[in-house]
Structure 1
């Protein structure tokens, strides 16, 4: 029997050759050796690997089942170019160093620790993608990067899986926290995940090699923190380079001490106060339909900045007399329309994001200036009756996003509310006023290009009604407080008499 040989493929295979081939084709690190199949280390590693595969699969399902993220919608014009830019950068920074970093014996690190270091560019890209274009794009980016690694020299199959899962979970950990400190928290959480993944991969695939837990902790935590610091450094550069927004950028623009807002307040205080009131309405409306309330408030802040060039021609800034009484209706219309162009120029001068600048022309749409149009109609003779009303319409465009449509509706409601405030603003009259404003805008076709649905319009209408009813509620006249012994008609008053609200 010892001399028995098998002739296969033109080669004689005896027992010695077969045994040597079997021992060489199955490395000692394989998890499927019969003597290690039920060892505690193998089972522990398998459990950890299974947990992270489950978390990654759940993250993929959550990302694909839901509608696009808020910032994927906000930055929708730049999603494709941002995705491919992040993909190319990650691919270059991962693929080129991979053959050198994955080669055995580098830095005295285990295979898992070297794979963790190699995953650093993918982790940074996943964090940036989550902040700028949403979790769906982050998942796709991590999967494509991991697949690319599987074709490289010295790359084990688990390396590709490791980098893909690490990127997916890093993106979702980034979405859990907000603000600058949120980057550090997400970095620590990512580092903990990396350490546990290293441990699971080692126990499952490479249990025969020495276990170095301290090295795994160091590489895992340091890689997680470095990915957070890299994202913090690159995020503002990506925002400026691609003209996109993140939550941090919106938070900075919310500051009322922004240089442009301070100049706006000093030059056109009435328009500034109108913008602050409009911001309150717009923020509430955006929240009610699931849009970004920060973007709505910021767009309201800056929507009328063009008025500060000629503030005296706008009614909210006039104290003594109305300058339009000295002008023809057509000239008044030209001056009012011009504030849109000036606002766009000012927005570019102060480097406002394009999506915020878009609210300056779009919140007017192509609406008709009814007051000056009717005044011109009354003044012009029968021989020169007015033709088309285009001279008294704003140039547009009409609102093309939900946020700018909200700003248009809120702007009209806030202006009508100021007029109603002079009379008796009962809840019924407030509701009727809002119905009229919405009806006029819809009939004029101003929302034709907006993605607002009828259900969302109804929700915004209810939100505006609740807010204005609470603002213009009936007030009880407080009696004047008197001091015992004081004459009834004395002009002196105590301080409490002025605290009526």
Structure 2
């Protein structure tokens, strides 16, 4: 008998595992599993239905937190964002479980300080991340209360209201107001719930109000320390940096006054453009203030600080290129030394992208060099919208200064030309800015520059009054007047 040939079995297709990495395992499975265990530390036991508990934690984390995190490009730029998220959530879980364990599980819904964690995440990172973390914490807390649906719904509402109340804050006192507002909403929910259950508990009402108020005080106190350690700044922290009293900006105004005023004008342009396209106007404005701090080291090598003498006339094009490149690296070093926000450091590094210095390149060509890449900035290109806006504002402001007849039509023409040139160089490919955004940015730049270049009326010189003689004044006054005239 002839044996049938065995066809070799196909091996296991590992293509389905390509998307699995240590980072994905950590962010999707390990951390929510760790958070679930952390919540049970005070109890030293697992809750009812432990499989449902751990599985629910993984599902809630992935759906409500991980998906929003992956849409936030700042998490791809800096590991500090994910580390800060993990740290704040972990501390929040410990605080929640310890407070409930040592006070009363029966009051879990009313004393769980969700506002503390949700407010910090929302203020530092964003509304979507804060709301998602709130839902995750609401599930963990309700699991402690025998998977109570009532507790989950109540805590979810409070978490969402907390995220709404603390989004886009611009003053620390607003955090306290948000705490009082959430406390009032919490009391209203408890009061409405008491009517349905025909019970009224003053302890529950008091705890519902005091909980977010005390949490807001804790957030106000801890937020500056979190910002300093993580270098992830809220809008409140950015505004404090942008009040022009920072030592770096004072140093810039004294040693490089031309660069300082260039930065102030850029800040106005960047803020207006960011508001037009829905970007963070505060981040763009403060980033514009600090983008050229590296020029403090050698201010005389930049035209806005020169008064006649140009040191580049005595340097070779390659040496001039090195000196100009140095201001970016020195700016990054100063940003790290003074612990400026990570995103401000990014703006300092990215505001020139990988563009070429055409003036020195053309000068080098006349001397026989033809390598344009030797005269480019090291980059990288702008990685987020505010960084791209600062790059555009930098070039537009410089081009505007060379405009001899700044009529609105001429201003719009040169603004559009500069923006189109940077777009065609593909410097904005990674910034997240689209063509619609660029149109809004051109309109905003034109509006700001046109309003700043309007001529003022010429005031007539004041003539001295006639008909007054020296005889009308006493002799003593005439003598004093004569002395003052001599002194002047």
Q: Specify the TM-score bucket, using the shorter chain as the normaliser.
A: 0.7 to 0.9
Deviations 1:184-216 (A, max 9, x none): 211212222222333333443473xxx443x34
5+ residue gaps, structure 2, are 1-63, 468-488
Structure 2 partner of 1:466: 447
Q: Which residue of 2 aligns with 1:398?
A: 381
* Deviations 1:391-414 (CA, angstroms, capped at 9, x unpaired): 221111111211111111111111
From the superposition, tell whether residues 141 and 187 of structure 1 become closer, same or farther in structure 2 (CA, over 3 Å): same
Report 1:408-447 matches (<5 A).
408-420=391-403, 423-447=404-428
- The equivalent residue for 1:198 is 190
Q: Distance in 2 between matches of 1:452 and 1:289?
A: 9
Say which structure, 1 or 2, has more relative contact order (CA 8 Å, 6+ apart). Answer: 1
The Cα offsets for residues 427-481 of structure 1, whole Å up to 9 and x where unpaired, read as 3322222232223222322222221101111111122122222222355555545
Counterpart in the other structure of 2:173: 181
**Contact 2:228–2:339 (Cα < 8 Å) also in 1:** no
Q: Could you say what the CA RMSD is over the residues aligned between the two structures, in angstroms?
A: 2.9
Q: Structure 2 CA distance, aligned partners of 1:177 and 1:272?
A: 28
User: Of the candidates 163, 167, 171, which is equivalent to residue 163 of structure 2?
Assistant: 171
Q: Deviations over 1:46-72 (max 9, x none)?
A: xxxxxxxxxxxxxxxxxx9xx989x96
Identify the residue that residue 303 of structure 1 maps to in structure 2: 291
Classify the secondary structure of the residue corresponding to 2:143: coil
Alignment of 1:21-420 (within 5 A): 77=78, 80-95=82-97, 98=100, 101-102=103-104, 111=106, 113=107, 115-117=109-111, 119-120=112-113, 122-152=114-144, 157-175=149-167, 178-205=170-197, 207=199, 211-213=200-202, 215-378=203-366, 380=367, 385-420=368-403
Determine the C-alpha separation between the residues in 1 that align with 2:75 and 2:192.
Answer: 38
Distance 2:440 2:191 in 1: 51
Change (3 A) 1:430 1:190: closer
Tell me the distance in 2 between the aligned counterparts of 1:68 and 1:456: 23
- Deviation at residue 484 of structure 1 after TM alignment: 6.5
- Specify whether residues 196 and 429 from structure 1 end up closer, same or farther in structure 2 by C-alpha distance, changes over 3 A only: closer
Return the TM-score normalized by structure 2: 0.75
- 1:239 CA drift (Å): 2.2
What CA deviation, in whole Å up to 9, does each residue of 1:371-429 have, x standing for no partner? 12112222x2xxxx323112221111111211111111111111111111xx2223332
Aligned partners of 2:116 and 2:212 also within 8 Å? no
Tell me the residue number matched to 1:17: none
Q: State how far apart, in whole Å, the 2-side matches of 1:333 and 1:344 are.
A: 18
Partner Cα separation in structure 2 for residue 450 and residue 220 of structure 1: 43
**8 Å CA contact retained: 1:256, 1:262:** yes
Tell me which structure has the larger Cα radius of gyration.
Answer: 1
TM-score (norm 1): 0.73
Aligned residues: 400
Structure 1 Cα separation of the partners of residues 211 and 239 of structure 2: 28
